[in-house]
Structure 1
Amino acid sequence: MRPTDFTSRAPGQLITLDSEGAAFVPHPLPPQLHWDGALVRLIGEAERALGELNGVGRRLPNPYLFTRPFINREAVLSSRIEGTQASLSDLYALEAQVPLFPELEVREDAQEVQNYVRALEHGLSSTLPISTRLLREMHAVLMSGVRGQNRAPGELRRSQNWIGPAGARRRDATFVPAPPGPLLEGALNDLERFIHAQNDLPPLVEIALVHYQFEALHPFLDGNGRVGRLLITLLLIQRQLLTQPLLYLSAYFERHRSAYYEHLLAVSQRGEWEAWLAFFLRGVEREAGDAALRAQRLLDLREAWRARYQQERAGSNLLAATDRLLAQPITTAGQLQHALGVVHRSAQLIVDRLLRDGVLVEVTGRQRGRVYMARPVLELLELEQVSEQRPTPGNPIQTLTEP
């Protein structure tokens, strides 16, 4: 990391570590912001998009059936930024405990993604306020039993880390966050105080500032990016900007991965807060609109299935099965039997009916141990925004540590 890249507008101080270079310690939030009409307009557009998404959320008959697919989609995309290759189908297959993994590496990736889901659910259900303690608990869940499990899950780092291309040494790093110990702990305490302080900033601006600050501190040895994105969701709910956890920015960050990292670095080096805020607010507006459309289409799909089977006077178990497929679109007859509380023959008859109607497809080609997929649900969740091209996957930015 070159000290000459940090101008007088940098919102922090450089601390010399040793001959390998310096580390950056950000000043406490909030910074002095320069408001203009364009930024105010972006705040309004993002808030309106969130309002529309909340409107869709209020129409959901069973929030769990609809929020779980969004949580899973976020888990896949957030983990993909860090280099995992697991797909949404891989995650659902792991949850359903069915052997659909072509190779061990994919299964391990899917387990990392599943941990992301569990970490988010832990944070949303916790009675703790948003705090370093809660983030440490979520980090412990995130890193449990997967790659990085030996890198102090749930503990603040005790050694220096840095950000840069894979294999880069600290002196060649793109960014070196605060050194461990009092400086890091003090900065995290300042961040926690800011989160709970009263101020006149728009809530979305607060959240964007908090996300930057957490990423700049990088308090864990591994998993910082994922925890930082989990923090966005917690703040959206805590600030009552969302009534249901339907909005996630990982899809936006992944589509614009280079710009995402460049904006964060530009804040640290040159204090370009307004450009970062504009980037963040555009992401909220676009992803809120996308989430509202996906949620509405999931609702339409459910209503189409229910209208068909109610018109044909199908039993309540068949309707319950289609509802379950929204939250778990990969299943077996045995799992449906357990979920619906019916005998195996009844579950198989339901599966056979859904196969005939094209709601399910069988994906193993076997006669025994068959696995079924609700392809319309997965296709809807995996659909990308066609107006924006996804970047070609490359080597992920890595957090590195001293040996």
Structure 2
Amino acid sequence: MLPPRVELETVKVLKQLSKTSRALAELKGYAETIPNKNILLNAATIIEAKDSSEIENIITTHDDLYRALNKSIYASSSAKEVANYRSAMWKGCEIVRVSKIITINMIKIIQGIIEKNDAGIRKLPGTVLQNDKTSEIVYTPPEGFDTIMDYMSNLEKYINDDVDEVDPLIKLAVIHYQFESIHPFYDGNGRTGRIINILYLLLKGLLDQPILYLSSYIIKNKADYYRLLQEVRTKNAWEEWVLYILTAIEETSMETLGLIKKINIEIEKMQIEIRSSLPKIYTQELIDLLFYEFYTKTSVFEKELSISRKTAVSYLTQLESNGFIHSEKIGKERIYLNYRLLNLIKSKSSTSI
């Protein structure tokens, strides 16, 4: 049960906490200057949805992902799972902003969207965590609905209660460990836990927008992630685990800041180029729409720019002819890709499949 009966704020942890806090504050401050935050939010959530799912060996390509986001029947099942993760993330952010707390029911809603079922908290015995390569059982999480609910109630209280005055970034490491160890659901625990991370940062005001995600760092350091989780269980090795999470937040903050700056540069370049080559169709709304997601379609242009279908087709044709976008036929529908944004997203993702 929480809180852990160990000293979490060691000298090493506090030294790393200082660096992590600075990096996160810089990211938050710069993100606040972005005129259209939806552009950044979409890019960040697409990257996280793909990377977080990849940790669970749910592999998809960016090309397949936009089919899923477009609810295409041609999308793979893996891509649809990634799209579900993104939907769950948005839902969680929406609830936290209104409720100002993180509850068991909210966590159940998030997991239900990820897995597309309402199985809820585990009731049946037999859940074990195994080594992927050897099939050796490395950990058996708590069993029994009442026992699991006791642990979850304790976690809920710890998340929302600050009586221990531990820094929120250190608490995030504890929360993530505890949720993964309770393993309350039959499936989707890892992805649900990583959404809880970002919701906690929003809850504590450390970020205003859900733009920081640790999945890319975890993929690059996956063996350490699972090793350190297990060493907290077997050796009570909290310091190294907390340092891992703090380092992940620091490095991911710096990477995300770099991505935001690159997106801004591409937006400014496209503004100048379209204003010069296609002045009759140029508007700021058009630029925002091209960067809102890395794909678009005629019906979206028609609706968002309040123009006729004929005009929307004309705009997209001109943009493609001038090299700003390129199109692909999916079934009966034509999708238009902003390859500049797509390439940035691919370069930020842990893999550029």
Same fold (TM over 0.5): yes
The question of whether the paired residues in 1 share the 8 Å contact of 2:36 and 2:288 is answered with no
Q: Which amino acid aligns with 2:130?
A: G
Q: Post-superposition shift, 1:357?
A: 2.9
Deviation at 1:118, TM superposition (A): 1.1
- What CA deviation, in whole Å up to 9, does each residue of 1:224-267 have, x standing for no partner? 00000000000000011101111000111111111111110110
Aligned equivalents of 2:46, 2:297: Cα separation in 1: 19
As a proportion of its length, which structure holds more helix? Answer: 2
Output the CA distance in 2 between the equivalents of 1:365 and 1:168: 41
Paired residue for 1:340? Answer: 305
Within the alignment, does 1:236 sit opposite 2:201 as a pair? yes
Name the SS of the counterpart of 2:301 in structure 1: helix
Within 5 A, what are the aligned runs for 1:250-399? 250-311=215-276, 314-315=279-280, 318-364=283-329, 369-384=333-348
Unpaired stretches in structure 1, ≥5 consecutive residues: 1-26, 394-403
Q: Secondary structure at the match of 2:138?
A: coil
Measured after TM superposition, the shift of residue 165 of structure 1 is: 3.8
Residues 179, 193 of structure 2: 8 Å contact kept: yes
Partners of 1:202 and 1:268 in 2: how far apart?
22
Query: Post-superposition shift, 1:307?
Result: 2.8
Equivalent positions of 1:153-168 (< 5 A) are 153=118, 155-160=120-125, 161-165=127-131
Q: Kindly, what percent of the aligned residue pairs are identical?
A: 23
Question: Is the 1:139–1:154 Cα contact (8 Å) retained in structure 2?
Answer: no
Q: Where in structure 2 are the equivalents of 1:159-198 lying within 5 Å?
A: 159-160=124-125, 161-165=127-131, 172-198=136-162
Q: Which runs of 4+ in 1 moved over 6 A?
A: none
Aligned residue type for 1:60: I
Contact 1:92 1:328 in 2 (8 A): no
Q: What is the aligned partner in structure 2 of residue 131 from structure 1?
A: 103
CA apart distance, 1:154: 5.3
More moved, 159-168 vs 207-216:
159-168
Task: Name the larger-Rg structure.
Answer: 1
Which residue does 1:57 correspond to in 2? 31
Aligned to 2:21: 47
CA distance 1:186–1:306, change in 2 (3 Å): same
Structure 2 equivalent of residue 32 of structure 1: 6
Whether the 8 Å contact between 1:29 and 1:194 is mirrored in structure 2 is yes
Taking a change above 3 Å as real, the CA distance of residues 181 and 364 of structure 1, as seen in their structure-2 partners, is closer
Determine the structure 1 residue equivalent to 2:86.
Answer: 117
Question: Residues 138 and 98 (structure 1 numbering): CA distance in 2 closer, same or farther, change over 3 Å?
Answer: closer
Check whether the contact 2:326–2:339 (CA below 8 A) recurs between aligned residues: yes
| Aligned-partner Cα distance in 1 for 2:30–2:262 | 10
- Which of 93, 107, 121 is the aligned partner of 2:67? 93
**Alignment correspondent of 2:77:** 108
Structure with greater contact order relative to length (CA < 8 Å, sep ≥ 6) = 1
Task: Answer whether contact 2:281 2:315 (CA < 8 A) is retained.
Answer: no
Cα distance change on mapping 1:351 and 1:98 into 2, 3 Å: farther
Partners of 1:46 and 1:284 within 8 A in 2: yes
- How high is the TM-score relative to the length of structure 2? 0.91
Q: CA 1:316/1:358 → structure 2, altered by over 3 Å: closer, same or farther?
A: closer
Deviations 1:99-129 (A, max 9, x none): 6x4xxxx521111111111111111111342
The number of residues matched between the two structures is 347
CA–CA separation in structure 1 for the residues paired with 2:27 and 2:119: 33
Q: Note the residue ranges of structure 2 that are not aligned, 5 or more in a row.
A: none
Residue 365 to residue 235, structure 1, CA distance change in 2 (3 Å) = closer
State the distance in 2 between where 1:329 and 1:55 align.
Answer: 25
Q: Kindly indicate whether residue 40 of structure 2 is the aligned counterpart of residue 66 of structure 1.
A: yes
Give the equivalent residue in structure 2 for 1:206: 171
Structure 1 range deviating more: 239-248 or 323-332: 323-332
Displacement after TM superposition at 1:166 (Å): 5.5
Shift of the alpha carbon at 1:88? Answer: 2.9
